[in-house]
Structure 1
């Protein structure tokens, strides 16, 4: 069954952490849309310089957890740091989490989970430099390719994208199963 997945990003997202999960999810038959505070397109960060632009499908103000089955938060240092200053972005993360819908964050993406206060008591992973932030927010931090706790999926870095995307797809499959 195809799911609708929302990627929330802004300028400075880590290129591979948006484009590769998006590609893998679309190849698996899911509909994947990008929402951003910016209209038109946003520009990625590709390792050590500006990367490619990605089209924005809908504005952050139009995005609603009610219209999607999961939320994906790519990392990069710039992207989540900018988004956690956007009240609507933080509320969107809270809305997905409160609805029990999968929320997947990779690398520095879990900064948004901290800001939304949805990691308390959860087992998560991330890029090493934000692990203290996660611990201070009440999370149990592990060092593994992908961590799944309830509806939260987290991952460490671009090398983990296959495991990260598979963990999200597995969670989506479980959500669709009858109780």
Structure 2
């Protein structure tokens, strides 16, 4: 597993409690290097959707058929890609309207799997999210 971002370096959580080391810049990787894309929640997805390279990478990754998993506010990035149009998805309840505006059929469940897309609502659903991600890894091999 590697943490990838627009550029390498250390970033802090919105509340300054956590530091995350971005190990590789988006420009230094290839989709072929990865089996799965996991988009975490928090405030970063709203920022990431503003970066065209991040949006393009997400679209291109999804279009390979490899698994894309996202939890909490993570689907905000997916909403910016157009890949939610006509798919079942979930996310934290306060982004339901945004997901529906992007064409998703919002389902208020812990985990929603639609083809190669896994979405989940919030931190309380992490155990179910982990099971769905693990299943996708096992079935991908």
The residue aligned with 2:40 is: 74
Distance 1:122 1:33 in 2: 28
Provide the TM-score with structure 2 as the length reference.
0.94
Residue 60 of structure 1 corresponds to 26
- 2:99 maps to 134
CA contact (8 A) 2:7 2:24 kept: no
User: How much does 1:151 deviate?
Assistant: 0.4
Q: Aligned-pair RMSD on alpha carbons? A: 1.1
Deviating above 4 A after TM superposition, structure 1's stretches of 4 or more consecutive aligned residues are none
> In structure 2, what is the equivalent of residue 149 of structure 1?
114
* Alpha-carbon distance between aligned partners in 1 of 2:31 and 2:7, rounded to the nearest angstrom: 19
**One of 100, 107, 117 as aligned partner of 2:82:** 117
Residue ranges of structure 1 left out of the alignment (5+ in a row): 1-31
How far residue 162 of structure 1 moved from its aligned partner, in angstroms, is 1.3
Give a deviation string over 1:95-116, Cα, whole Å, max 9, x none. Answer: 1110001001111100111111
- 1:51 aligns to 2:20 (yes or no): no
CA distance in 2, matches of 1:106, 1:127: 8
SS of equivalent to 2:17: strand
Distance in 1 between residues matched to 2:131 and 2:94, nearest whole Å: 24
Q: Residue 64 of structure 1 contacts residue 92 of structure 1 at CA under 8 Å; is this kept in 2?
A: no
Q: Are 2:62 and 1:97 aligned?
A: yes
Task: Using the TM superposition, give the Cα deviation of residue 50 of structure 1 relative to its aligned residue in structure 2, in angstroms.
Answer: 2.0
How far apart, CA to CA, are the structure 1 residues paired with 2:92 and 2:127? Answer: 16
| Deviation of the 1:94 alpha carbon | 0.6
TM-score, normalised by the number of residues in structure 1: 0.75
How far, CA to CA, are the matches of 1:63 and 1:81 in structure 2? Answer: 22
- 2:2 pairs with 1:37: no
Aligned match of 1:13: none
